[in-house]
Chain A
Amino acid sequence: MNNVVAMVLAGGRVDELLALTEKRPKAALPVFATYRIIDFVLSNMMHSGLWNVGVLSQFRPYSLMRHIGTGAHWDFIGRQRGVRILPPYQGFKESDWYKGTADAVYQNLSYIDEFGPEHVLIAAGDHIYRMDYQQLMDFHIDRKADLTICFTRVKEKSSWFGYGIIDKNGSVKGYQEKPKEPRSAWASMTVYMFRKGFLADVLKDNTRASSHEFGRDIIPKVLSGSRVFGFEFTDFWAYARTIDSYYETNQILLRRAIDLKKWQIRTNTAEGCGGGDHMPAHIDGRVSNSVISEGCVVQGDVINSILSPGVLVGPGAVVTDSIVFHDSKIGPNSKLTKVICDKYCTVEKNVDIGNYGKSIASQEFGRLLNSGITVLGRGCRILPGTKIGANTVVYSSAKVDAAEIPAGSVLR
């Protein structure tokens, strides 16, 4: 696919994931113990033979930059290949923060032009799926499309998606962005194959508009008068738009519903290994239906949980139905129930999180946090003996020293 340049939309700030995306874009969110969400789209591009990738990023891009590094982990190093983070920049005339997904691509049209491609693949960096974009390309060429949008059939029609109405020939006849009442079950995967000339034209047109999003502003506008087709993707696809969906997506790994090894998802294995490589997990406790990464030391019980590299679980500790990110420490005799614990947290001894008192929805984020999940932000510290009820959010670096925190609290 040497006539295609790929652009990954990885920059946006999202609030729905609360403390998990407080300091990182969603694409950089850890998933399935050892990966970050962006690994899926980058691996897909690599396996599809797309060798020039631009990553559009503006919200706290450090973790993403460190993760992508030289791109070597996805084989993006070579004379004809490369992956580049494209942050906002100042130019002679137009310069500004990215005002939306379409604006981000618009501001980088000159980057795209350097490669002289005929088509541009634009894909969100925050979805979990395995796809050969070559099939999409074949479809796109076959229909002589100006734009081909990938759709996946969703069971639950939620207002989180854009929906396409596709006719027998694959032509997109209608599109609704985040509707209250979807008229179709086919949700946009935010994967677009554009004819390059067409993309440049519609983006230039869009500069005069007040809003600059592909889903909201570009697609509805180009449906009439252009060749817009829908590619129906029928394999596994998952997302993480809310805490609940992020949690559910991780559970897929414990149900063994996807085979990451077969998918050959690549990640940056060296990241965070500056002082030496993580040794294999040292396990001396009860582990059941769990995924445990290298560098973990487990002396307590781990049940239905996922541990990223370097997590310590002390003697007598019980981690149940939880997801614990890199290098967090769970002290002796502490209990975690349905907790998502970000990196570098310290839960000291005799702490009880997620199972204290009555479970009531979050006071501040009731719509987003009501199913009993507790979120600990990056680097927070929970002092000995603390009890924290479900649906609580602790923001990053907070030190929790109150002895009893009722369910539904927000701690900053």
Chain B
Amino acid sequence: MKKQSVAMLLAGGVGTRLGILARKRAKPAIPFGGIYRIIDFTMSNVSRSGIEVVGVLTQYKPLSLMEHIDNGHPWDLFGRTRLVEILPPKTGEDISDWYKGTSDAVYQNLAFIDDFSPELVLIVSGDHIYHMDYRDLYDFHEEKRSDVTVGLIRVPIEQAHQFGTAICDRNMQVVNWEEKPAQPRSNLVSMGIYLFNKKLLDRTLHESARKNGVDFARHIIPLLQKKSRVFGYEFKGYWRDVGTIDAYWNANMDIIRPGSGLDLRNWGIKTNLWVKGEIGDRPAAYFNPGAVVKNSLVSRDCIIKGTVTNSILSPGVVIGRGSVVEDSVIFHDVVIGKNCVIKQAIVDKNVTFGDSIRIGEGELVPNRKTPEQLSGGISVIGKGTRIGSQITIGKSCIIGPDNVITSKKFKAIRSGTTI
């Protein structure tokens, strides 16, 4: 990095719209692509861009995240000048409280940033799937003599209302900013990436705190856009905010969808293979005679006796004889019995299935309780749930964690049901 820089990684997200996947973990800690967690993408980007000091702001269920980040060694952020520090809310200072928003979290940790006397501070969100060299952003920032540069990406206009949208002039200076507008005037949306001149960041966060401003997108950027040089850097590559179950499922499928733009092999994403020995002690995957595998990702320690098509399997998944898994994302150590047919499912860790279970059959309706999370037909099974034999589960169903579903209680679970 040309200028001394610190990155602050926002990893406190609750991920409400990801439902039960985020019930027991922060959104950045949700598994992705078999062996990764969502935060690995940002961590790898930061490390690859030559940034050596990273603060990770956590608040919601940080345990699996803290274990995963560990001392930063998986991303080469461990050394005399390289470090990752987990920054949870704390007490004992004038400004100390739960984090009330993204900018408040950074405000409460200005002292951490000051320790390194950086000229620039990069603020990035830990819950997006993308591959970016931030050095291009730094170059742009310098070239435009910008005070704040916001990472922007074009999305289909009908999705723009979910984001902060920027209206830029020809020079890419942000002339107007609308946070989640009902009628978007622009399809250039915020990636949750902000590069700040440190002095301005200090001043603005203090000022904003006095006015109860707590959020970069809602309070800080609109405030600054009127009086400082705020520029938009348009990123042209694959980027997904995996904010809903449907979006999460789709981004996973992009890994095995040719030409999707998500290219794990060449991006060189790093993860922590060590947590609880989850991968470290596992042998390579075994495929029985009779296994059929089409366009799927298979991790260590999987045992495949049946058929797997267009699916992503985390380590330790067992698929029994005669079973078919299709268009599904299966997390660690899920055991599937014999003669099951599982289509369009996301199955969280340690779920066990008996024999002859069918998932993804019946009519396509949105989930009745949370249609905004789940409408595309994907069914989600929560962590640790046990499902007996001979049970049929429809589309867009949500079965919460740690349930025991027996065929005595349930024979068929209709599409759109939540348990």
Contacts and interface: CB of A to CB of B under 8 A. Distances in A.
Interface string B27-54: 0000001110000000010000000000
A276 B301 contact: no
Contact of A280 (B33, B44, B292): B33
A291 B293 contact: no
Interface in A256-291: 256, 260-261, 264-267, 269-270, 273, 275-277, 279-291
B280 interface: yes
B210 interface: no
A303 to B, nearest CB: 9
Contacts of B292: 286
Interface string B222-243: 0000000000000000000000
Contacts of B300: 34, 280, 293-294
A46 to B, nearest CB: 11
Contacts of B283: 32-34, 253, 260-261, 265, 291
A32 to B, nearest CB: 7
Contacts of B282: 261
B267 interface: yes
Contacts of A32: 283-284
A45 to B, nearest CB: 16
Interface residues of B, number: 43
Contact of B273 (A260, A270, A283): A270
Contacts of B365: none
B289 A294 contact: no
Contact of B35 (A265, A288, A294, A306): A294
Nearest to B303: A256
A276 B285 contact: no
A73 interface: yes
A266 B284 contact: no
B273 A277 contact: yes
A292 B33 contact: no
A369 to B, nearest CB: 27
Contact of A256 (B271, B286, B294, B301): B286
B165 interface: no
Contacts, number: 114
A288 B307 CA distance: 12
Contacts of A273: 270
A248 B230 CA distance: 67
A266 B299 contact: no
A291 B284 contact: yes
Given A73-B280, A293-B285, A294-B300, A280 B293 contact: no
A289 B279 contact: no
Given A265-B281, A266-B281, A277 B287 contact: no
Given A288-B287, A291-B285, A280 B298 contact: yes
Given A277-B271, A281-B299, A292 B285 contact: yes
B89 interface: no
Contact of A276 (B270, B288, B293, B304): B270
B289 A289 contact: yes
A135 B412 CA distance: 54
Interface string A365-393: 00000000000000000000000000000
Contact of A277 (B269, B290, B293, B313): B269
B284 A293 contact: yes
B268 A280 contact: no
Interface in B268-324: 268-271, 273-274, 279-301, 304, 312-314
Nearest to A297: B265
B193 to A, nearest CB: 21
B35 A277 contact: yes
Contacts of B284: 32-34, 291-294, 306-309
Interface string B100-114: 000000000000000
Interface string B1-44: 00000000000000000000000000000000111000000001
A217 B159 CA distance: 79
Nearest to B297: A280
Nearest to A308: B284
A284 B294 contact: yes
Interface in A237-259: 253, 256
Given A261-B282, A269-B280, A282-B297, A287 B273 contact: no
Contacts of B172: none
B204 to A, nearest CB: 36
Contacts of A308: 284
B268 to A, nearest CB: 3
Contact of B34 (A73, A280, A302): A280
Contacts of A253: 283
B362 to A, nearest CB: 29
Interface string B247-270: 000000001100000001101111
A256 B280 CA distance: 20
A226 B65 CA distance: 58
A293 to B, nearest CB: 4
Nearest to A288: B289
B268, B286, B299, B313: residue with the most chain A Cβ atoms closer than 10 Å: B286
A321 to B, nearest CB: 13
A32 B270 CA distance: 24
A279 B296 contact: no
B34 A279 contact: yes
Contacts of B273: 269-270, 277
- Most A CB atoms within 10 A — which of B35, B274, B293? B293
Instruction: Indicate the member of B280, B285, B289, B296 with the most A CB atoms within 10 Å.
Output: B285
B293 A283 contact: yes
A33 B302 CA distance: 14
B46 to A, nearest CB: 14
Contacts of B289: 288-289
A267 B273 CA distance: 12
A286 B281 CA distance: 27
Given A32-B283, A293-B284, A279 B35 contact: yes
Given A281-B297, A294-B299, A264 B287 contact: no
Nearest to A303: B289
A87 to B, nearest CB: 26
Contacts of B298: 280-281, 283, 292
* Most chain A CB atoms below 10 A, which of B269, B283, B304: B283
A261 B281 contact: yes
A264 B297 contact: no
Contacts of A293: 284-285, 300
9 contacts: A277-B74, A280-B34, A281-B299, A282-B265, A288-B287, A291-B287, A292-B298, A294-B284, A302-B287
Given A280-B300, A282-B297, 14 more contacts: A261-B301, A265-B281, A266-B280, A267-B280, A275-B268, A279-B265, A280-B34, A281-B299, A283-B295, A289-B288, A294-B284, A294-B299, A302-B287, A306-B284
Interface of A: 32-34, 73, 253, 256, 260-261, 264-267, 269-270, 273, 275-277, 279-294, 297, 302, 306-309
Interface of B: 33-35, 44, 74, 255-256, 264-265, 267-271, 273-274, 279-301, 304, 312-314
